[in-house]
Structure 1
Amino acid sequence: MQLEEKEKDLKLREQDVVIKIQEKRNELGNLELAHLKKLDALTKAKDEALLLREKDVEEKERELKGAQQEMQLINQKITLMKQQVISLEDELLYQSFGFYETRFDLESSIEYKGYLQLVRDKQKELVKNKMAVVSHIGANHKQTKSTNQFNKCIKFAIRTFNNECDAVINKVKFYNVDVCEKRIRTAFYEINSLNMYNSFELAEDYLNLKLEELFLAYEYSQKKQEEKEEQRRIRELMREEQEAERQLQEELKVLEKEKQHLENAMIHASQFSEEKVNELKGRLDEIEHQIADVDYRVKNTKAGYVYVISNIGSFGENIYKIGMTRRLEPIDRVKELSGASVPFRYDVHAMIFSEDAPQLEASLHRTFSHRRVNKINERKEFFNVSLEEIKRVAKENHNAIIEFTMLAEAQEYRETLSINKKIAKQYII
């Protein structure tokens, strides 16, 4: 009986142990599950952290790229603004108009060309003799691979400076000489600044030769233009002389022919009435006087007309052209001037015949030189004066009676104004 109870008690204990073991197993399983969940959570957290880090890096890279692009745009704007500043400086110099002072004042473009070649030869000599740059490498420096690179840097610097100077010199104009000088100096200092650590710099003597070339090139182009203007003036004067000579010779032939007819008629004077004979004699005397006048004009190359004309439709009030012509019919010259180059015809205020027309014209030009409309080109014979002033000076320098037409008819101009008024009225609502 006691044995059965012990066996029963043993089984109950065994069951308790099994239950406890199962409970422990369950508890261990729960712990393992919790640990796995925590591990999974940690893994997810790590993955999320890595993802955020990658996104942050990408965002930073995008920001950096954006900043670089923005910096590039800023640099482009700075470059554009610098160009605008230079353009404004050009415009300012254009408006200041002619502060350049001649440095060489040579007689002809040929002299300028020779001097330019001399300056360029001096530049070549400096480069050839290695005096275009100042080297800061010691004399005991041995020939090495780095020395060869050094020589290449020098060659590149000189070539770059030459290219900059050539581009500037080829564009020099009367209104941008100072800007061109500034650009050459700026290129010189920038190239020297970039080569500061290469132990050399461009020489000041080389810079001075480039500036000398700049000023010579400018004055050379100006002198060529002046010579072209002078050649044009001479050709125009020759054409005027030839036309005047042609007209005078033709007029002389016509008069000689008419004189011959009259003389032939006088041979048969007995066949005419006394009144007719007197008429023929009078006409013959008149023809002889005209022949003498024309012959005098042919032989005296200074005889001609000084004209005073205006064009208020083109130039406004009190602007007069004072010129000279030797033509037999001086009004032909005025008709030429009234061609396609101006919108309206010129009005003639005076046509003064003078035995020394160039001297009379020159005296008027000298008197009103300070009143020239164009003070650079004296071939432009326009003056901002009153007609009364021109009349007074002309009479002081000319003995014959001078007739002036004080009022400008300006027919085409006044009719145009009238038409414009009618057109304007049609469009008024």
Structure 2
Amino acid sequence: MRFNPPPGWPTPPEGWTPPAGWKPDPAWPAAPPGWQLFIPDDESASIRAGKSPTKSAQEAPGNRSAPPAATTLPTQPAHQGVDPAALLSRIAELEAALTAAQPGTDAIDLSDQHTLQDVGIYRYHHPLENAAAYKSRLRSLEGQIDSAIRDHQAILAADMFTFNGSLAQGRKLVGDLSKLMLRAYNAEADNCVRSLRSGNVRTAQKRLESAVTAIERLGVIMEMRINPEYHALRVAEIELTADFQMKMQEEREQARQERQLLREQRRAEQELAAERQRLEKERAHYLTALATLRAQGDDSAVTELSGRLADIEKAIAANDYRIANIRAGYVYVISNIGAFGPNIIKIGMTRRLDPMDRVRELGDASVPFRYDVHALFFSEDAVALESELHKAFTDRRVNFVNQRREFFFATPSEVRALLADRVGGLLEFTEEPTALEYFQSRSRWPEQS
């Protein structure tokens, strides 16, 4: 007789026999039901040669025709009375234990923040013009996925598998299990799409790859696996969905920015129109008074009023220029040390008649302190000047994802040097922020641990 170790037990040396009173290690897995620990030497030799020791093992339900002995691996013998379900269950337990013993090897990172830190900035997998183009591409891709399922091309499996000695029953079993496997895979793919965010594309792809690996491992007996072409379609669906979400977010942000610019423009136009009306009334008043003084012959008063009237005419001309030239406006450089900390500035532009109105709006209840103004500069092309300043500090943006956020890691002196090169001398520029509210409030703050 020869000792025959069950699956999962260590292989003893050649010719080893258990000593008297020997017992297996309790940590070893239990032997499958019906397992023979001792078999005759001639039967053991048959097993090592790849032959089945009994006829019943060859005709066990679900077994395919035995391959030639030359093609059978000696480490995979077929034993009489072995339950395949128990072996598969034990294999799954060992694989789970191996995964737990090696943390991090196949772990899927479900943290969106970690994924965003890895890639830095979102990159489009399939660059298209707009969200409508992505939606059209997704509809086309969904048609390809449906076609692959209808044509039974999503799952690849053996077509010569026999069950109970019947090829027809084997094919029916393979077909039923293929539907079950495909349903599990599609459920995982749909969950990946539904839970998708623009920053966790890699996480979704890894989850789907894990589903492919699991299905292939469970279907190895029937050579069952997900068709790589079908899997590529579902991966493309994840990428296109993420791209579509990002493009939709960009277009919504762009629309919001455009609405804000339109509101700003309408407000500026209303202010300029009201100022034009006020100046017209003041000019009409001076013209009436000037005519009266001329009739009275008061030359000194006429000279004084004529000077004031000339100033009003200049103001009207400047106001009309602002109305006609939509690119004219004020470029401002502001900071809020109490809200954002030191060395962070905002560079923006406004067409408001009083630019401080815009600064006061930015310092509303959304931030704890008012903004400090470092520079206000009127430019005939404020749009171009603002764009030049943004480009100069583009690598020092605070928000690299949303380019419309105009905050930068810079100091007012750096902006002053750049403005001096672009526009020459500046009439007024403040280097250090006043931040009265911040400095007066900080002394009363609770101590931070």
Shared fold, TM over 0.5? yes
Q: Which runs of 5+ in 1 are unaligned?
A: 1-70, 425-429
Contact 2:160/2:167, CA 8 A, preserved across alignment = no
Structure 1 window deviating more from structure 2 (389-398 vs 291-300): it is 389-398
Partner of 2:272: 248
| Shift, 1:291, TM fit | 0.3
| Distance 1:156-1:139 versus aligned 2 partners, 3 A rule | closer
After superposition, what is the alpha-carbon deviation per residue over 1:303-323, rounded to whole angstroms, capped at 9, x for unaligned? 100001010111111211110
Partner of 2:7: none
Partner of 1:411: 436
Asked if residue 216 in structure 1 is aligned to residue 226 in structure 2, the reply is no
Alignment of 1:114-153 (within 5 A): 114-138=136-160, 144=168, 147-153=171-177
Give the letter aligned to residue 135 of structure 1: A
Alignment of 1:27-426 (within 5 A): 86-87=108-109, 90-98=112-120, 101-138=123-160, 144=168, 147-269=171-293, 270-271=295-296, 273-399=298-424, 401-420=426-445
After superposition, what is the alpha-carbon deviation per residue over 1:140-170, rounded to whole angstroms, capped at 9, x for unaligned? 9988455444322222221211110010122
In 2, distance between residues paired with 1:94 and 1:366? Answer: 24
| Distance 1:398-1:418 versus aligned 2 partners, 3 A rule | same
Structure 1 window deviating more from structure 2 (386-395 vs 327-336): it is 386-395
In 2, distance between residues paired with 1:361 and 1:383? Answer: 13
| Shift, 1:272, TM fit | 7.6
TM-score, length-normalised on structure 2?
0.71
| Shift, 1:277, TM fit | 2.7
| Distance 1:130-1:88 versus aligned 2 partners, 3 A rule | closer
In 1, distance between residues paired with 2:425 and 2:113? Answer: 51
| Distance 1:390-1:262 versus aligned 2 partners, 3 A rule | same
Tell me the secondary structure at the aligned position of residue 301 of structure 1.
coil
| Distance 1:90-1:227 versus aligned 2 partners, 3 A rule | closer
| Shift, 1:258, TM fit | 1.0
Contact 1:98/1:175, CA 8 A, preserved across alignment = no
| Shift, 1:353, TM fit | 0.3
In 2, distance between residues paired with 1:199 and 1:377? Answer: 49
Q: How many residues align?
A: 348
| Shift, 1:262, TM fit | 1.2
In 1, distance between residues paired with 2:375 and 2:199? Answer: 39
| Distance 1:236-1:178 versus aligned 2 partners, 3 A rule | same
| Shift, 1:324, TM fit | 0.3
Contact 2:121/2:400, CA 8 A, preserved across alignment = no
| Distance 1:100-1:258 versus aligned 2 partners, 3 A rule | closer
| Shift, 1:212, TM fit | 0.8
In 1, distance between residues paired with 2:425 and 2:270? Answer: 27
The RMSD of aligned alpha carbons is: 2.8
Structure 1 window deviating more from structure 2 (290-299 vs 194-203): it is 194-203
Give the letter aligned to residue 177 of structure 1: V
Tell me the secondary structure at the aligned position of residue 374 of structure 2.
strand
TM-score, length-normalised on structure 1?
0.75
After superposition, what is the alpha-carbon deviation per residue over 1:182-230, rounded to whole angstroms, capped at 9, x for unaligned? 1101101212222223453221111111111111111111111111111
Contact 1:305/1:326, CA 8 A, preserved across alignment = yes
Larger helix proportion of the pair: 1
Tell me the secondary structure at the aligned position of residue 126 of structure 2.
coil
Contact 2:338/2:438, CA 8 A, preserved across alignment = yes
In 2, distance between residues paired with 1:208 and 1:358? Answer: 46
Contact 1:98/1:174, CA 8 A, preserved across alignment = no
| Distance 1:407-1:211 versus aligned 2 partners, 3 A rule | same
Contact 2:108/2:206, CA 8 A, preserved across alignment = no
Q: In terms of Rg, which structure is larger? A: 1
After superposition, what is the alpha-carbon deviation per residue over 1:224-247, rounded to whole angstroms, capped at 9, x for unaligned? 111111111111111111111111
Q: Which runs of 5+ in 2 are unaligned?
A: 1-92
Contact 1:168/1:184, CA 8 A, preserved across alignment = yes
| Shift, 1:94, TM fit | 3.7
